[in-house]
Amino acid sequence: MKEIKKAVIPVAGFGTRLLPATKAQPKEMLPIVDKPAVQYVVEEAVNSGIEELLLVTGRNKRAIEDYFDYAIELERELEEKGKTDLLNVVRNVSEMVSIYYVRQKVANGLGDAIYHAKGFVSDEPFGVLLADDIIDSSKPCLKQMINVYKSYPGIILAVMKVPIKDTNLYGIIKGNKIDDRLYEVEDLIEKPNPMEAPSNIAIVGRYILMPSIFESLKDTKPGKNGEVQITDAIKNLLIKEKIYAYEFEGARFDVGEKLGYLKANVSFALKNKEFGKEFKKYLKDIVEEA
């Protein structure tokens, strides 16, 4: 069984749910406290043992590439001024992992974005992390999934329970529970009407995929919104291989929409060692005055 050492992060989306803030900058570069959202996802990959990352980018995403590159002039200035702590922070961003880039020229959906990773992945299993989903957990979500993969090799989907009324916002699984927090998937439905949803177990933005996904993606017709859906491509593999769904431990924030973005900022700010306690007091004062 091959180890999982590669991962893909699609970052080509327009960020329409966060307009107008994303009109002139990538949504992935919006800060969560003091780091851009995409860095939290990259750090999760690195802390899960990933050694090579592919970012699938699009137009107006150059800021992401620049962020993970060396900033020679900035580093020189910080060094000359003796700001070694900030210098180390800046350098660590550039050196945390080997990152490669490929551009998705036309926004044809998540499935199409992942298909762009075919050459990078070759014949290895790989992780996929969606930058819209930041997962706060004591053990990185992808690491949890990799541990499951060692006992249950195959496609693994990260899932969580959602209110039935919200099933039309997610890919939903039908499955049998076979272990603690683990289901064997029988069926997948992309954004079903709540009245037709087979469960309230929803797929979120973490996947372990096999190279077989690329052949399936190649044969998958555009689905909802005229885009190639990764859920449809995975469903097409059900008759050929095992697919599992793992109910991860941790709190998930959808930072691709405004309320989720605000919740993530508050949650991570409260945990900040520098000002978390003071921020908590500030929030209490606001609530009391409201």
pLDDT at 157: 98
CA distance 80 to 67: 21
What is the distance of C-alpha 242 from the center of its chain? 23
**Does residue 137 carry a pLDDT above 80?**
yes
Q: What is the pLDDT of residues 11-54, one digit of tens each?
A: 988 888 888 888 888 999 999 999 999 999 999 999 999 999 99
Tell me what the mean pLDDT of segment 100-126 comes to: 92
Task: Please give the domain boundaries of the chain with CATH numbers for all domains.
Answer: 6-289 (3.90.550.10)
CA distance 226 to 239: 25
Whether residue 245 contacts residue 201, with contact meaning beta carbons closer than 8 Å, is answered with yes
Q: Which two tokens stand for residue 36?
A: 């851009």
Using a 10 angstrom Cβ sphere, with 0-12 exposed, 13-18 middle and 19 or more buried, the burial of residue 86 is middle
Q: Which two tokens stand for residue 45?
A: 């990959």
* Three-state SS at 133: strand
pLDDT at 225: 72
Tell me what the mean pLDDT of segment 160-184 comes to: 94
Whether residue 57 contacts residue 104, with contact meaning beta carbons closer than 8 Å, is answered with yes
CA distance 193 to 263: 27
Going by pLDDT thresholds of 50, 70 and 90, the confidence category of residue 241 is very high
Going by pLDDT thresholds of 50, 70 and 90, the confidence category of residue 200 is very high
